[in-house]
Chain A
């Protein structure tokens, strides 16, 4: 069995530890005896829509996001849409999450269109949300660090990924964090999201394998180190939000 991960724009959209999510998916697959390959898909490449089981799309700086936004308006955006319609899963963080939504509306510039595969819209906010975040999701507790000034609002087709307990989440107003729509996830927790939230890593892996291998129950792993890191991070978030 094998798992194929496409890392979208790793040269432009991999800010502050987003690579940790790919490391977590790769290692957990290897520990289960699943072969894994990660390929970089970046601006100027011709995307192969049939290859990926899972797309990973991290956060970027504003300037990188311009290049990426333009690339996704061309044939590469069509390839990602086709791949998702064909059953590929995706994890998108921060800027990647915004570009999977309908559009990003800056304060005083024309809206930047996104792929529109997750039913969310983002506008520039006045206050930047920076700090530890804890939220309750159906599959478990989410813990990590958020750092964004985009405020994201969910449409009818997207469900909130989690409810914020500590921190700000999507927009600081409605208590939601992230979005889940089919096999796509958007989220504002960057960096070490999947290593500490290993239940989410396994959910994405299950979805990704489903495309070519059908639904499978994953072999359980010893997650003692992961659980202790998550519990300790929750305590830190309580003490230093």
Chain B
């Protein structure tokens, strides 16, 4: 009775918001949860094929959307918190708004313990754990422990899908008694041999001795082992033995899949997202060849290297929120030798992370060398300009424009027709730039997709 009332009230909220031309990604969930706090538990139980959750610092939105395409291709109907509202209220909003047979939920790392206490998922995917918005999550070790405790309380019927190349994520397997699938990159040509400045896990998560790396892909991701206690990168169930990166996507050779796997998004980190989605498909008992075929027609999510045509130029929208995500995105923009013009936007509202210090850990030095010109904007535009100055970008190649629309117009004007403008922004800054693009008629508002 209470659940029925909660669902009705939430649907009414949603209808009113949509009629008023607004996005309805979270508020209906807030209303529903106020009436029935157990709403998510009750509604998720009615999903015949169960629930798959995806969490981690970076890549969870893209991985969840890839899984969504994969289950659709298998003839399933997902209930998905697709617009990226990934706290419990976002899940509740998705559950009351759609009918389906499988739940696909992207979970904010901090809300993992709370959500797992309400939903025992069939599959839990963890992409990676990096230093993120420290003012919100505090320390990465503490966060990893909280997720580990939540996993320890899961029934053995849950299948874990873990990144073998991330020691912090692989260590989560210690807390689980049920089935596990590990994914990773085995191509020896991917990565270097030295740890990067932003590494979070130079010590063994089991015994705290220094880890040894024979290959470092990004930060603490790579081929690792602990010489002291013997903890090492687990055997991979889904492994990319060859990775060929291109400007618009990559091609992977994956164990257990005969045909090459096409990932239609550039960047090594998107290859990892594809491997996570494939391993998730395997955990859901979907044939890998079918899953790989579904990936080939994947379209990127909001700000995940999405391409937007504008006045004869191509804008490449890149959402950034932490040093690891920033460095991965910079890699995707520059690894094929391109020299993009740049529009960079930094803000410090809650969804961006209130502490902007993370920009000093991100590799602006590489970006400054690759870019011809940067326009900076956002609520913390002056911090960003300072970072570029110390990264070695000459002041003649750097401009601060305070207004969103003004910054966008200036950056487009500075980009020759036919060339690419990289738009790198934190969450609320990207929303604001997106609104400016919508006003100029270049894109639709994001919640319509």
Write the residues of chain A forming the contact surface with B, with a CB cutoff of 8 angstroms: 10-12, 14-20, 23-24, 27, 44, 61-64, 66-67, 128, 130-132, 144-145, 147, 190-192, 195-196, 225-226, 228-229, 231-233, 236, 240
A23 touches B141 (CB 8 A): no
Whole-angstrom CA separation of A137 from B92 in the bound complex: 50
Q: How far is the CA of A19 from the CA of B361 in the complex (A)?
A: 6
Min CB gap B151→A, angstroms: 19
Name A11's contact: one of B134, B195, B383 (CB within 8 Å): B195
> Which of B234-242, B252-260, B269-277, B384-392 interfaces with chain A?
B384-392
| B383 nearest CB neighbor, chain A only | A229
Known: A145-B354, A229-B382. 14 other contacts (CB 8 A): A11-B202, A15-B134, A17-B358, A20-B361, A20-B390, A27-B390, A61-B139, A62-B141, A131-B354, A145-B356, A191-B360, A192-B387, A226-B386, A229-B383
The total of Cβ contacts below 8 Å across the A-B interface reads: 112
Chain A residue with minimal CB distance to B195? A11
Closest 6 CB pairs of A and B: A191-B357, A20-B360, A17-B357, A17-B360, A232-B382, A229-B382
Residue of B nearest to A66 (CB): B208
B203 near A67: Cβ-Cβ < 8 Å: yes
Known: A16-B358, A17-B358. A24 touches B390 (CB 8 A): yes
Bitwise, B196-211 to A at CB < 8 A (1) or not (0) is: 0101001100001010
- Cα A12 to Cα B139 in complex, Å, equals 12
Cβ–Cβ contact A190 & B383, under 8 A = no
Complex Cα spacing A240 to B135, Å:
14
| Cβ-defined partner of A236 (8 Å) among B197, B348, B386 | B348
- Decide if A233 touches B383 in the complex (CB within 8 Å): yes
Contacts of B380 in A (CB 8 A): 232-233, 236
State in angstroms the CA–CA spacing of A12 and B202 once bound together: 8
> What B residues does A62 contact at CB under 8 A?
139, 141-142
Q: Is the CB of B134 within 8 A of A63?
A: no
Nearest chain B CB to A146 CB, angstrom units: 9
A192: chain B residues at CB < 8 Å are: 356-357, 359-360, 383, 386-387
Contact A61 B357 (CB under 8 A): no
Q: Determine if A130 and B135 form an interchain contact, defined as CB atoms under 8 angstroms apart.
A: yes
Q: Is B15 engaged at the interface, CB distance under 8 Å to the other chain?
A: no
Residue numbers in B under 8 Å from A18 (CB-CB): 360
Known: A11-B199, A23-B360. A147 touches B386 (CB 8 A): no
Indicate if B244 sits at the interface (CB-CB under 8 A): no
Residues of chain A contacted by B141 (CB below 8 angstroms): 61-63
- Residues in A with CB closer than 8 Å to B142 are 61-62
With A147-B355, A195-B360 in contact, do A225 and B395 touch (Cβ < 8 Å)?
yes
Q: Which B residue sits closest to A17, measured CB to CB?
A: B357
Q: Give chain A residues whose Cβ lies under 8 Å from the Cβ of B140.
A: 61
List the A residue with the shortest CB-CB distance to B385.
A225
Q: Which B residues touch A24, using CB under 8 A? A: 390
Q: A19–B383 contact, CB under 8 A?
A: no
